[in-house]
Structure 1
Amino acid sequence: MYIVSLTYTASLDRIDDVLPAHRAYLDAQFAAGHFVVAGPKVPRDGGVIVVSNMERERLDAILAADPFAQQGVAVHTVTEFKATRLATGLNLPRPEAAV
């Protein structure tokens, strides 16, 4: 799995201009089963996306299609991790192994 941290590189006015296209992109990634959780940071200087397990090259291609990246208003930082525990009742991909 991955944690993707978005950091805005443009004014919030410019972010808001691109936000509808970014939200449509998020909808498509959720529908495809790629993204698990997404939302803005507090304070609003970027966002966070939790991504299901996939090849890193595939994730990089998906992130390159983000309108925020295409419009140059945000940068993505990716951290890969192995999920080993999951709270009961969450509908997420199962961890690889319990620790």
Structure 2
Amino acid sequence: MPLIEKDANLFTIDLNYIVPIEQVEPHISAHMDFLQRNYDQKRFLASGPKVPRTGGMIIAVGSSRQEIENLIKEDPFHIHALAAYEITEFVPRMKADGDL
């Protein structure tokens, strides 16, 4: 089964911390659980912290921007007002060989 269905688009989710990192750290475990749930449901393809550590990036797959916005509302970083999010949607026209 391909990771990207024919009717799905890709999204980059750019998280920027809006509080000091010391306020973010207590919520990292819950954020990691949020990420894992979305990996398990095949919604997220990749994620990780930025260098320097000012936030993080997520590559997601979905059928609409609204779907991704709703997912973000479940992130503990959003719930606790720790990060601002910028979503960019794109239509994958080319990809690497494999099961993307």
TM-score of the pair, normalised by structure 2: 0.86
Residue segments in structure 2 that go unaligned for 5+ positions in a row: 1-9
Residue segments in structure 1 that go unaligned for 5+ positions in a row: 93-99
For the pair 1:38 / 2:53, whether they are aligned, the reply is no
> What amino acid maps onto 1:60 in structure 2?
E
Q: RMSD across aligned C-alpha pairs, in angstroms?
A: 1.0
Identity %: 29
For the pair 1:66 / 2:75, whether they are aligned, the reply is yes
1:53 to partner: Cα distance? 2.8
2:86 and 2:34 mapped to 1: Cα distance? 18
User: How many residue pairs are counted as aligned between the two chains?
Assistant: 91
* Higher alpha-carbon deviation: 24-33 or 55-64: 55-64
Aligned counterparts, 1:52-63, within 5 A: 52-63=61-72
Structure 1 residue matching 2:62: 3-state secondary structure: coil
**Structure with more relative contact order (C-alpha pairs < 8 Å, separation 6 or more):** 2
2:62 and 2:79 mapped to 1: Cα distance? 23
Q: Is the 8 A contact 2:62 2:68 kept in 1?
A: no
